Amino acid sequence: MKRILNSLLVVGVLALGLPALAETSRLDIDVDTEAFTDQTIEQGPIRVVASYAPLDYQADDGGNNLTLELYYNDDLKLLATDTAAMFAGIELVDLDGNGMPEVVVETFTGGAHCCLATTTYTWQDQQFNPIYFGYLDGGGGEFKDLNGDGLMEFVTLDNAFFYSFSSYAGSYPPSVILTYENGEYRDTTSEFTNYLQDIASGMRFTIEDPEFAGRGDNNGVLAGYVAQKVRLGEYREAWQYMLAHYDRTDDWGLQTYSDEGEISEAYPDFPTALYGFLKELGYLDANGRPQPQVDRSPVVEARESF
């Protein structure tokens, strides 16, 4: 289990916030942070003034305990609120190398595995435009410049694979990589073949590790492996590998349910269930052809309260 957990959290775990980058300003909140008002970080023309109070779980206040004032050239342009349970990170960092920092806010909602919420505020068209990510498990994500071109990538996991064919610890989701440029995130996962191959090798190592044998989590790892190899244009090879290694006794994920709790699909075996799952997510098209360029971005128009 330890090996799988380590593999799952390769994109950064509960050390929330972004990695330390040159010429950045950031503010961190943790479980020991006491209430504060008007703490400031700034870089160039962008300034963020933050106020925070530890979450009051007895109060019915919607949970908005973090307030952000976003300034451009000393003019208040946006007032935003968020919920930070235990951890949060606020950072000014130039994600696309254009000389203008973005405001990146990461908040933790609380829970055993869930969830991290990431919001990027971009100064564009004389206003701060928010980009919201849906709530993410698996440690959320991490910003890296994977190819050294000056554009930051947000490296995360496809959260749809958690619990689909195994427990959280037994799942090994495929990679999702987003490149930030001109106020937008693009799913560029399939462009980073070396990174994808490294993760795919880790997946195979997990399956073939004698310590892992008999745990009954093969299918949770193999689901992610096949999707990862779709991104690499190696779907057929991965499918054959899956057929040789899947657990025929495991019935996790062979039934799917409607919002009303009724069975909507019932599959005879894991390969059939995985085939339907990959089509549903877009890794395979309606005819079962692999789609390496599938967009699995977690960007959402708005984020509902958790």
pLDDT of amino acid 12? 36
Token pair in block for residue 174: 């495929």
Q: Are residues 46 and 136 in the same domain?
A: yes
Helix (H, G, I), strand (E, B) or coil at 246: coil
Q: Are residues 153 and 6 in the same domain?
A: yes
Angle at 110 between CA 109 and CA 113, to 5 degrees: 110
Residue 139 lies in a domain: yes
DSSP string, 165-224: SS-TTT--PPEEEEEEETTEEEE-GGG-HHHHHHHHHHHHHHHH-TTTTTSS-HHHHHHH
**At residue 9, does pLDDT exceed 70?**
no
Q: Are residues 257 and 146 in the same domain?
A: no
Pairing mode of beta strands 255-257, 102-108: unpaired
Among candidate residues 133, 157, 181, the one where a domain is terminated: 157
Helix (H, G, I), strand (E, B) or coil at 234: coil
pLDDT of amino acid 24? 52
| Count of domains forming the chain | 2
pLDDT tens digits along 100-157: 999 999 998 876 667 899 999 999 999 999 999 999 987 889 999 999 999 999 999 9
Rounded distance between C-alpha atoms, residue 227 and residue 289, angstroms: 12
Residue 8 lies in a domain: yes
CB 133 within 8 A of CB 300: yes
Among candidate residues 106, 128, 157, the one where a domain is terminated: 157
**Sequence-ordered list of residues with C-beta below 8 angstroms from that of 243, at least 6 positions apart, any chain:** 271
Residue 26: count other Cβ atoms within 10 Å of its Cβ: 17
Residue 113 lies in a domain: yes
Residue 221 lies in a domain: yes
How many angstroms separate the Cα of 51 from the Cα of each of 23, 40, 72, 144, 240? Answer: 23, 9, 18, 28, 54
Residue 178 lies in a domain: no
- Alpha-helical (H) ranges within the chain are 2-8, 193-208, 218-231, 235-245, 270-281
Q: Are residues 16 and 150 in the same domain?
A: yes
- Which of 298, 161, 283 is closest to 222 using CA atoms? 161
Q: Are residues 116 and 220 in the same domain?
A: no
Residue 213 confidence class, pLDDT cut points 50, 70, 90: low
pLDDT of amino acid 85? 87
Give the domain range for residue 265. Answer: 194-281
**At residue 285, does pLDDT exceed 80?**
yes
Q: What is the CA radius of gyration of the chain?
A: 21
Residue 257 confidence class, pLDDT cut points 50, 70, 90: confident
**Residue predicted with more confidence, 52 or 5:** 52
CA atoms within 13 Å, Cβ hemisphere of 112: 3
Q: Are residues 102 and 207 in the same domain?
A: no
Q: Are residues 28 and 142 in the same domain?
A: yes
pLDDT of amino acid 94? 95
Mean pLDDT of all residues belonging to the chain:
88
Residue 150 lies in a domain: yes
Q: Are residues 84 and 228 in the same domain?
A: no
Q: Are residues 125 and 201 in the same domain?
A: no
CA torsion sign for 254, 260, 264, 266 is positive
Among candidate residues 107, 132, 157, the one where a domain is terminated: 157
Helix (H, G, I), strand (E, B) or coil at 270: helix
Q: What is the dihedral of CA 72, 75, 79, 84, to 10 degrees?
A: 50
Helix (H, G, I), strand (E, B) or coil at 107: strand
CB 269 within 8 A of CB 254: yes
Q: Are residues 64 and 141 in the same domain?
A: yes
Q: Are residues 66 and 148 in the same domain?
A: yes
Residue 224 lies in a domain: yes
Q: Are residues 43 and 138 in the same domain?
A: yes
**At residue 271, does pLDDT exceed 70?**
yes
pTM value surpassing 0.75? yes
The secondary structure of residue 87, as a DSSP letter, is: -
Residue 216 lies in a domain: yes
Token pair in block for residue 87: 């951890």
Task: Determine what percent of the chain is predicted with pLDDT higher than 90.
Answer: 74
Q: How far is CA 37 from the centre of its chain?
A: 30
Rounded distance between C-alpha atoms, residue 288 and residue 236, angstroms: 11
The secondary structure of residue 159, as a DSSP letter, is: G
